[in-house]
Amino acid sequence: MTSTPDKEHNFHVAKNLIQQAKDCHAKMVFLPECFDYVGESRAQTLSQAESLDGELMSRYGQLARDCDLWLSLGGFHEKANDGTDRIYNTHVVLDSSGNIRSTYRKIHLFDVDIAGGVRLKETDSTVPGFAITSPVSTPAGKVGLGICYDLRFPQLSLCLTQQGAQVLTYPSAFTVPTGQAHWQVLLRSRAIENQCYVIAAAQVGRHHAKRSSFGHSMVVDPWGKVIAKCQDKVDICIAELNFDLMKTIRAEMPVNSHQRPDLYGRLQALSPGTEEIESKAEYTFGQHSVKSSHVFYKTPLSIAFVNKKPVLPGHVLLAPIRRAERFSDLSPSEVSDLFQAVHKVSSVIEGQFGGTALTVAIQDGADAGQTVTHCHVHILPRKKGDFEDNDDVYDKLEKHDKEVMTSKWRTDEEMSKEATLIRKNFTS
């Protein structure tokens, strides 16, 4: 697109492009940053901003319904509604019923001053977002949302792919000099290092007297090949995504599992959604298995799940996903991941079950009372007086799962119900 300051004009251009895409049987359409408008001044930019329940978003909702396709609306000028006149730069995903499925507010703002070149200060009008949005499931796969300048931060792309993104999107309005120097290299790099698709709809040409954009909208495949691109004008390009190709590339060159977080640290994992946890029907737990519906939290290397026979209400377990019997069998990255998870889960569990303290324990080896041959951490919320003698908890831990005659294992249904309740405290 070549958005101008005129919102009405831009809407009609976008509508026309969306209808063209529909005629080509597209399932989802990606518009660039500033699809709504490009203001000529700070005052004009602020005065035209709307909230997410405003008129423009409802017109796009109607368009999505009429065309029966999903829309990625990159870089909407969203009124902050915080008592100031400032705005967020918001990426909105609408489903084919016109409902907002996901929003992401740009976290890296473009404040740049290159001598003799580009000068732009996005923070003059815009406030940064405060969260990364977990990838959203769409008819074009699991889409991780970014916006324009975010493209320069591989950390964001890694967080999103660790969360299962198959597609990264960067709706953009790159300036001409930075676009000439970096646009395609950056897009291909993000695709290659994350082994995922990258979709980048871009503004092109002259918006008004003071601003022009580089253009070159494109789609890059997980091997880094540009599989579709627009010419230097207002246009659409169409790509078909092949997730089998992505799987093959990831299997043949498993860069994700070759990472060395023990040496350079791991990026903060986002809390996975239910879908991510349930991507596997069950997880190995030594000689047993754990149903995914009993898991309430998952990190790249560990799971946390409810206990089949809790010693106290809220007694949960954490284990590495890979089967490893003893604590010493874990790799440094598994230890670090497991204990980051223990740290997070323990505070949630203490709060949720009204504890005032915690017992965190590992029975490491048969002689220490381990019955399940898969390293695991017990977390039990504790309260004053919950055992006659405080250290009785260890006796109970040793015996509780052997006393099946006196008290029964819990049912799948009871366990799933509890996991669902606990999971609610982990959604990002």
- For the window 397-416, what string marks contact with ligand AMP as x by the rule CB under 6 A? ----x---------------
**Residue 288 touches ligand AMP, criterion: CB under 6 A:** yes
Q: Which residue in the list 108, 216, 294, 376 is annotated as catalytic?
A: 376
**Residue 285 touches ligand AMP, criterion: CB under 6 A:** yes
- Please check if 288 is assigned to a binding site: yes
Given the complex with ligand AMP, which of 255 and 366 has the nearer CB atom?
366
Return the range that interacts with ligand AMP (CB under 6 A); candidates 49-57, 95-103, 185-193, 301-309: 301-309
Given the complex with ligand AMP, which of 152 and 309 has the nearer CB atom?
309
> Least distance (Å) from ligand AMP to the CB of residue 411?
12
Q: How many residues bind ligand AMP (CB under 6 A)?
A: 14
**Residue 27 touches ligand AMP, criterion: CB under 6 A:** no
> Least distance (Å) from ligand AMP to the CB of residue 419?
10
Interface with ligand AMP (CB under 6 A), residue from 5, 245, 369, 396: 369
Interface with ligand AMP (CB under 6 A), residue from 77, 142, 216, 308: 308
Q: Identify whether 376 is a catalytic site residue.
A: yes
Interface with ligand AMP (CB under 6 A), residue from 218, 363, 379, 418: 363
- For the window 44-73, what string marks contact with ligand AMP as x by the rule CB under 6 A? ------------------------------
- Please check if 371 is assigned to a binding site: yes
> Least distance (Å) from ligand AMP to the CB of residue 277?
15
**Residue 371 touches ligand AMP, criterion: CB under 6 A:** yes
C-alpha 321 chain-centroid distance? 20
Catalytic residues: 376
